[in-house]
């Protein structure tokens, strides 16, 4: 019996070896990100934001306009330049046109707009280290944010695309959320 079991165990280990060897090693960035509640976004993959009521408010009655706030961290070694602009009924603070680098998981700029309450909305913007060639010697993150109303509640999704030969990593803060009744959005984003 033991003689027949050994080849079976050896074969199962043989099949596990590629899976174990391809597992990505954790880095100090990953450890810090997990501790501070940031997640590395996978290019092209849609992420649904959690819902969080504003100031404990649970009633569906509310303001005519709500705020969308976008905090941006530049964690590259050089300046990052904005691509696109935020759209809204009122632009309270446009995206900073260029961001100086800051320490990992802190913010170096922001943008803020007012949009109609309880209305679908879409934002498309990004940052790059080389505005003259975002596909060449650059790190580029382009974020797409969509807000929709499903079953009477506000939902928001974030999708990122990366470009550039220097390999950008785009991040999302764990504090990011959508307010479920009026569709206000808070996003913490970063480029590394």
Question: Domain for residue 1, yes or no?
Answer: no
Residue 109, pLDDT > 90, answer yes
> What proportion of the chain, given as a percentage, has pLDDT over 70?
77
Q: How many domains does the chain have?
A: 1
Question: Domain for residue 185, yes or no?
Answer: yes
Pairing of strands 153-163, 140-150: antiparallel
Find the domain containing 125 and state its range.
Answer: 35-191
Res 36: pLDDT: 53
Question: Domain for residue 8, yes or no?
Answer: no
Question: Domain for residue 114, yes or no?
Answer: yes
- Exposed, middle or buried by CB within 10 Å (0-12, 13-18, 19+), for 85? middle
Question: Domain for residue 11, yes or no?
Answer: no
For the residues 54-83, what does the mean pLDDT come to?
A: 84
CA pair distance 145, 184, nearest whole angstrom: 12
Confidence (pTM): 0.79
43-52 burial: b if 16+ Cβ within 10 Å, else e: eeeeeebeee
Question: Domain for residue 158, yes or no?
Answer: yes
For the residues 139-165, what does the mean pLDDT come to?
A: 95
Output the furthest CA–CA distance in the chain (Å, rounded): 77
Residue 96 CA: distances (Å) to CA of 62, 92, 100, 163: 30, 12, 10, 20
Res 51: pLDDT: 92
CA pair distance 41, 169, nearest whole angstrom: 8
Question: Domain for residue 174, yes or no?
Answer: yes
Question: Domain for residue 30, yes or no?
Answer: no
Res 171: pLDDT: 95
Res 69: pLDDT: 97
Mean pLDDT estimate for the chain: 83
């Amino acid at each position: 019996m033991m003689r027949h079991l050994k080849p079976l165990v050896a074969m199962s280990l043989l099949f596990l070896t590629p899976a174990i060897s391809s597992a990505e090693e954790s880095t100090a960035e990953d450890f810090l990100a997990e501790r501070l509640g940031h997640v590395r976004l996978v290019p092209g993959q849609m992420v649904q934001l959690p819902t969080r009521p504003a100031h404990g408010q649970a009633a569906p009655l509310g303001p005519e306009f709500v705020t969308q706030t976008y905090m941006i961290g530049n964690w590259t070694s050089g300046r990052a330049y904005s691509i696109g602009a935020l759209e809204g009924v009122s632009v309270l603070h446009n995206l900073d046109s260029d961001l100086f680098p800051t320490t990992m998981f802190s913010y170096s700029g922001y943008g803020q707009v007012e949009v109609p309450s309880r209305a679908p909305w879409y934002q498309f913007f990004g940052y790059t280290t080389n505005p003259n060639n975002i596909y060449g010697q650059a790190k580029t993150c382009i974020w797409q944010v969509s807000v929709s109303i499903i079953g009477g509640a506000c939902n928001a999704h974030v999708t990122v695309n990366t470009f550039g030969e220097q390999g950008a990593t785009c991040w999302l803060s764990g504090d990011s959320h959508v307010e479920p009744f009026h569709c206000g959005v808070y996003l913490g984003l970063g480029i590394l």
